[in-house]
Amino acid sequence: MFEKVLIANRGEVALRIHRACREMGIRTVAVHSEADAKAMHVRLADEAVCIGPSRSSESYLNKSAIISAALLTGADAIHPGFGFLSENADFAEMVESHGITFIGPTAEQMRKMGDKITARQAAIEAGLPVTPGSPSLDTVEDAKTWAQKIGYPVIIKAKDGGGGKGMKIAYDESDIEEAYTMARAEAKASFPSDVVYMEKYLQNPRHIEIQILADKYGNVVHLGERDCSIQRNNQKLIEESPSPALNQAQREEIGEIVRKAIAKIGYFNAGTLEFLFEDGKFYFLEMNTRLQVEHPVTEAVSGIDIVREQIRIASGAALGYEQKDIEFHGHAIECRINAEDPETFAPCPGTITEWHAPGGLGVRVDSEIYSGYSIPPFYDSMIAKLIVHGKTRNSALMRLRRALEEFVIDGVSTTIPLQQEIISQAEFIDGMYNIHWLEEYMRKRNQNL
């Protein structure tokens, strides 16, 4: 087992990884930008190294500074968390070439499954259901031809896309030129490549994803699904497990399909396969070759510490259990609490004047925040995750309502008022929502104001 792990991230996920390491008796090294010198992940780690100025391009994305910090402190592994360098195959390769273990899949697996076009191909070969789609599109004419073949509406997406960026819908041929040009321009501005491709645009799907764990010896398990359909701007705001839309047979069927596909692809460590689900059918969207923000809902229902498993797998340990050994209990819901205006979603950095996190049975808060902490303006606006667990969906909902009421965050605006509103709507309570529900709900509500 590793003796020292460097955590190449910040915020709540850096703390999350620190906690797993501590429980495993592993020492931790935090890295931080100048803006994060007083952050909680820096305070709690055994050692801390400043890796550069506040802008992430000069610190959390600075590969050589991070590797130098690992060499300097004698860390034997690096956990990338999510975001930043977590899906950067070149970084994984660099880490390994310095004799340090990258806690995640291999660079080759990341290249194959992290690229949406090659991942679609691998998914098809491994027997996963996939949305009808195109290869990479080189011209507007190409896009028109493929849209004809697939049938409108279609969505043009960046092959390296993430965070809901670089996606444009075309409802008919007159939309294609603009959608194609804009998707490429957005991709060029945000991602390493401006290559785009096309998929059938599903009108009213849910977003349901399957968590997997796989070791280096071909053992694969799935940890059930998460329903992440409550979204704005294609970004998740509330997630739950199990999904209220699936019955037991559907759940077991997709879990088994995914488990077999991952074994065939030969991927290891933790990963998530994202699907759209419409009219009883699943369509593979993409794979995330890393830990995800919403992993705690799966931990709550499965009792498995996913970060601990990532570290064990990377160190060469076998899973040590099979699918039949995994039991799911109760229901879990997560709210991503962002420092944002709850109406416009504009980031709202500032100083937290008062902070009180909820607690009690079945309540987990993952956050780096403390009273007096100043949220820097340079990074993601998520400041906390609230995860509740109950015996039934209804008891989890009651608990969530109570925990959100108890939360005190003064000094900045947060998404909490919107989340309180969402969970009291009849459709949410009945589990009757899809990926458009939140935006439609807010539009209708604002019209009636």
| Residue nearer to ligand ADP on the CB measure, 291 or 352 | 291
Is 290 among the catalytic positions? yes
Angle between helices 248-265 and 116-125 (to 10 degrees): 100
Stretch that binds ligand ADP, among 85-93, 157-165, 299-307, 350-358 (CB under 6 A): 157-165
| Residue nearer to ligand ADP on the CB measure, 150 or 257 | 150
- Binding of residue 194 to ligand ADP (CB under 6 A): no
Stretch that binds ligand ADP, among 55-63, 196-204, 338-346, 384-392 (CB under 6 A): 196-204
| Residue nearer to ligand ADP on the CB measure, 238 or 435 | 435
Pairing between β-strand 77-79 and β-strand 4-7 as defined by DSSP bridges: parallel
Token pair of 13 as six digits: 């996920």
| Residue nearer to ligand ADP on the CB measure, 180 or 355 | 180
Neighbours of 144 (CB within 10 A): 16
Q: Are 223 and 259 in contact (CB under 8 A)?
A: no
- Binding of residue 11 to ligand ADP (CB under 6 A): no
Applying CB under 6 A, among 59, 131, 134, 292 the residue interacting with ligand ADP is 131
| Residue nearer to ligand ADP on the CB measure, 8 or 285 | 285
Considering the complex, what minimum distance in angstroms separates the CB of residue 263 from ligand ADP?
A: 23
- Binding of residue 201 to ligand ADP (CB under 6 A): yes
Stretch that binds ligand ADP, among 21-29, 88-96, 201-209, 409-417 (CB under 6 A): 201-209
Going from the C-alpha of 242 to that of each of 223, 301, 327, 334, 391, the distances in angstroms are 10, 8, 12, 12, 12
- Binding of residue 123 to ligand ADP (CB under 6 A): no
- Binding of residue 164 to ligand ADP (CB under 6 A): yes
- Binding of residue 435 to ligand ADP (CB under 6 A): yes
Pairing between β-strand 235-241 and β-strand 220-232 as defined by DSSP bridges: antiparallel
Considering the complex, what minimum distance in angstroms separates the CB of residue 237 from ligand ADP?
A: 12
Token pair of 121 as six digits: 């191909």
Q: Which of 355, 394, 335 is nearest to 40 (CA)?
A: 355
Tell me the site size for ligand ADP, rule CB under 6 A. 20
| Interior angle at CA 113, CA 112 and CA 114, nearest 5 | 100
Applying CB under 6 A, among 207, 290, 312, 385 the residue interacting with ligand ADP is 207
- Binding of residue 136 to ligand ADP (CB under 6 A): no
Pairing between β-strand 363-367 and β-strand 382-390 as defined by DSSP bridges: antiparallel
Radius of gyration for the chain, computed over Cα atoms and rounded to the nearest angstrom: 21
| Residue nearer to ligand ADP on the CB measure, 146 or 201 | 201
Binders of ligand ADP in range 236-275 (CB under 6 A): 274
Alpha-carbon span 69 to 49, nearest angstrom? 6
Binders of ligand ADP in range 378-397 (CB under 6 A): none
Catalytic position from the list 290, 312, 336, 399: 290
Alpha-carbon span 352 to 368, nearest angstrom? 12
Token pair of 3 as six digits: 């003796």
Terminus-to-terminus CA distance in the chain, angstroms?
59
What burial class does residue 431 get, using C-beta atoms within 10 Å of its C-beta: 0-12 exposed, 13-18 middle, 19+ buried?
Answer: middle
Distance of CA 168 to the CA centre of its chain: 21
Stretch that binds ligand ADP, among 9-17, 37-45, 105-113, 160-168 (CB under 6 A): 160-168
- Binding of residue 163 to ligand ADP (CB under 6 A): yes
Considering the complex, what minimum distance in angstroms separates the CB of residue 242 from ligand ADP?
A: 18
Token pair of 117 as six digits: 């076009």
Binders of ligand ADP in range 277-306 (CB under 6 A): 285-286
Q: Collapse the DSSP code of 289 into the 3-class scheme (helix H, G, I; strand E, B; otherwise coil) and give the result.
A: coil
Alpha-carbon span 295 to 305, nearest angstrom? 9
- Binding of residue 162 to ligand ADP (CB under 6 A): yes
Neighbours of 139 (CB within 10 A): 9
Alpha-carbon span 221 to 262, nearest angstrom? 9
| Residue nearer to ligand ADP on the CB measure, 112 or 207 | 207
Applying CB under 6 A, among 51, 70, 155, 258 the residue interacting with ligand ADP is 155
Applying CB under 6 A, among 28, 101, 231, 338 the residue interacting with ligand ADP is 231
Stretch that binds ligand ADP, among 2-10, 23-31, 154-162, 421-429 (CB under 6 A): 154-162
Residue 208: partners with Cβ closer than 8 Å, 6 or more residues away: 225, 226, 227, 228, 229, 243, 245, 246, 254, 275, 276, 277, 282
Stretch that binds ligand ADP, among 71-79, 137-145, 200-208, 292-300 (CB under 6 A): 200-208
- Binding of residue 234 to ligand ADP (CB under 6 A): yes
Considering the complex, what minimum distance in angstroms separates the CB of residue 258 from ligand ADP?
A: 16
What burial class does residue 340 get, using C-beta atoms within 10 Å of its C-beta: 0-12 exposed, 13-18 middle, 19+ buried?
Answer: buried
Catalytic residue ranges: 290
Residues that bind ligand ADP (CB under 6 A): 131, 155, 161-165, 199-202, 205, 207, 231, 234, 274, 276, 285-286, 435
